Amino acid sequence: MTATATAAPLRRTLAALLVVELFSGFQQSYFTPLFDTVGHRFHVGVAALAWTVTGPALGGAVATPLLTALGDRHGHLRVLRWTVAVVAASAALIAAAPGYRLLLAGRVLQGVLAGLLPLMFGLVRTRHTVEETRRAIAYLSGGLLLGVLTGSITATLLLQVGSVTAVLWIPAAGTLLGLGLLRSLGPGATPAESAHSAGLDWRGAALLAGGLVAAMLAVHEGGAWGWAAPPTLACALIGAGLLAAWVAAARRSPAPLIEVGRLFRPRLLPVFAVACCVHFVVIGGQVPYSSYLTRPEGLGLPAASAGPVLLPAFCGMAVFSVLSSRFGRAIGYGRVTLLGAALLAAGSAGLLLRHGSAVDFAVLLGCSGSGMGLIAGAGRIMVIDSVRAEETAAAEGLFELLVGLGAAVGSAVFAAVLAAHGSDHRGYQSVWTTGTAVALLGLGAAVLLVRRPTPTD
C-alpha cells in the first residue's frame, strides 16, 4: 500500500477520532465553572460537590482496564463506538437530571471517557505504521486539550448570560456527532484487533471495582464520619482486603484484567508516580479551587468569574502538552517530566504562600497547569514507546487507570481536609499545604526518572 493510499484512511480515521476527543476534553473542564451554580441549584455543599470529581475519576479507573481488555478481544473500534454512546448518554443524563443524585450518577458514568484514548491509540497502531501512530497520538492529545480549553471558555461565556442548560447539553450533542462519524469508518474490527481469544477476567474486574469504591468511600467520608469510626474502618478494611484479593487473583489468572507486574516495572514506576501526583493536585483540586474563588470565605467572586481565573491553567495544559514531544526530542522525555514536576511544585508552593487575589490564582494555577501538560504528554509517549504494538491499548489503559486514581484520591483527600477543618480559610490553607506536599513527592519521583532514563531518552 502506498503512502498516499494510507494517508487518506489515516486522515479519515483521525477526523472522526478528533471530534470525539474534542468533546471528551470539553467534558473534562466544562463542569468546573459550574460547581457553585450546581451547589446552589441542588443545595449541596463542598463535600458533596467533590463527588462530582471523585465519582467520574473512580468510574474511569474501574472502566478503563475493562474497556481496553474488551477492545483487545473484540476490536478497538467496536468497543470505542459503544463507549462513546455511553458517554453521550451520561452527558444527556447530567443535562436533564432533576436532582443531585441523578446528576452524580451521570457524572460517574461519564468517567468511562477515560477509556477513549487507550482504545484510539490501540485502533491507530493496529491499522497504521509506527510513524503514523506517533503523529496520530500528537493530534489526538492536542484535540483532547483543545477540548479542555474550549469547555472552560464556553461554560464561562454561557454562564455570563445565565444559560446553564445550554452548557450542559453541548457535550451530549457533540459526542453524538462524533459517534456518527465513527459509524462511517466501516467494520468494527479487523483480524489484528480481534486476535485475543482469552476470556475476560470478570472476577478481577469485580474485585478491583469493589476495592476502589470501598477505599475511596473511607477516604472521602472519613472526615465526616470520624477517622476512627466503625464505618470508616470497615470501608478501609474491606477496600484493602478486596484489592489484596484482586492482586492475588491477577497473579494466578492466565489472562488478568491488568498484568500486575507492569505496575512494578522499575523504569516506568517514576513515570506513573509523577503522573499520579500531578492529577492528584490539579484535577483532584478542582472543587477547592473553584469554591475558594466563589465562596464568601474565599475571594467571593461571581460564579462567571471562576472560568477566566482558571483559564491560564487550561491554556498551559493544552499548549505545553503539544510542545512536550518537541521538548522531548531536544532534551529527553525524562527531563521534560522533571521540568513539568518543577512547575507543578512551584505553582503549588506559590499558592500556599499567595492566594489573596484572582491574579495570584491565575498565575500560579497556570504554572501548575503547564506542568501537567508537560507531564501528561511526555508520560504517555514514554509509556507507549516502551511496549510492543499489541500492548499499546493495555499500557495506555494502565496509565489512564493510575492517573484517574490519582485524581480520585486527590478529590477525596481534599474533601476530607475541608470537612475536618471546615470550609474556611484554615481549611483551604490545609488544602494548599497538602497539595504542595504531594507536588514535592512528584518532583522527587521525576528526579529518579532522570537518573534512571527510559528507552525513549
DSSP annotation string for 132-150: HHHHHHHHHHHHHHHHHHH
pLDDT band with cut points at 50, 70 and 90 for residue 86 = very high
Note the pLDDT of residue 264.
64
Tell whether 192 is covered by a domain. no
> Looking at residues 2-16, what average pLDDT do you find?
64
Q: For residue 457, is it within any domain?
A: no
Q: Check whether 173 has a pLDDT greater than 50.
A: yes
Spatial distance between the Cα atoms of 248 and 169, rounded to a whole number of angstroms: 43
> What distance in Å separates the CA atoms of residue 306 and residue 249, rounded to the nearest whole number?
46
For position 278, what pLDDT does the model report? Answer: 93
Give the domain CATH number at 360: 1.20.1250.20
148 within domain boundaries = yes
pLDDT, residue 370, reads: 92
User: How many Å apart are CA 310 and CA 368, to the nearest integer?
Assistant: 11
Residue 143 has pLDDT above 50, yes or no: yes
**Of the candidates 159, 456, 186, which has an alpha carbon nearest to the alpha carbon of residue 327?**
456
Q: Which tens digits make up the pLDDT trace of 354-375?
A: 878 888 888 999 999 999 989 9
Whose CA is closest to 46, among 287, 301, 283? 287
Q: How many CA atoms lie within 13 A of 69 on its CB side?
A: 19
Check residue 97 and report its DSSP letter. Answer: -
Q: Is 429 helix (H, G, I), strand (E, B) or coil?
A: helix
| Mean per-residue pLDDT over the chain, rounded | 81
* Per-residue pLDDT at 332: 87
- This prediction has a pTM of 0.78
388 with 40: CB under 8 angstroms?
Answer: no
Q: What is the pLDDT of residue 361?
A: 86
pLDDT in tens, 325-359: 788 888 888 899 999 999 999 999 998 888 788 88
In a domain, 187, yes or no: no
Report if residue 456 sits inside a domain: no
Return the axis-axis angle of helices 286-294 and 35-42, rounded to nearest 10°.
80
Torsion angle defined by CA atoms of residues 408, 443, 115 and 66, in that order, rounded to the nearest 10 degrees? -70
Is 270 among the domain residues? yes
Supply the DSSP symbol for 255: S
Q: How many folded domains does the chain comprise?
A: 1
Share of the chain above pLDDT 70, in %: 88
pLDDT higher than 70, residue 2: no
- Report which listed range, 126-140, 166-180, 255-269, 412-426, is most confident: 166-180
Dist CA 29 CA 34 (whole Å): 10
Cell of 161: 448570560
Among 412, 346, 338, CA closest to 379: 338
Quick one: pLDDT at residue 436? 95
**SS3 (DSSP) at 270:** helix
Q: Which domain holds residue 147?
A: 3-182+203-451
Within a domain: 303: yes
Average pLDDT over residues 404-427: 78
Tell me the per-residue pLDDT of 32-43, one tens digit each, with 9 for 90 and over.
778 778 888 888
DSSP per-residue letters across 20-40: HHHHHHHHTTTTGGGHHHHHH
Question: In terms of pLDDT, which residue wins out, 145 or 78?
Answer: 78
Give the integer Cα–Cα distance in Å for 176 and 111.
Answer: 17
Distance in angstroms (rounded) separating the CA atoms of residues 158 and 167: 7
pLDDT at 87 over 90: yes
Highest mean pLDDT among 76-80, 267-271, 397-401, 404-408: 76-80
Residues 6+ apart with CB under 8 A from 359: none
Report CA 373 to chain centroid distance, whole Å: 12
The mean pLDDT value for 295-317 works out to 78
Residue 195 has pLDDT above 80, yes or no: no
Which 3 state secondary structure label does DSSP give 452?
Answer: coil
Q: How far apart (Å, rounded) are the C-alpha atoms in residues 141 and 394?
A: 18
**pLDDT of 385 strictly over 90:** no
Q: Is position 427 within any domain? A: yes
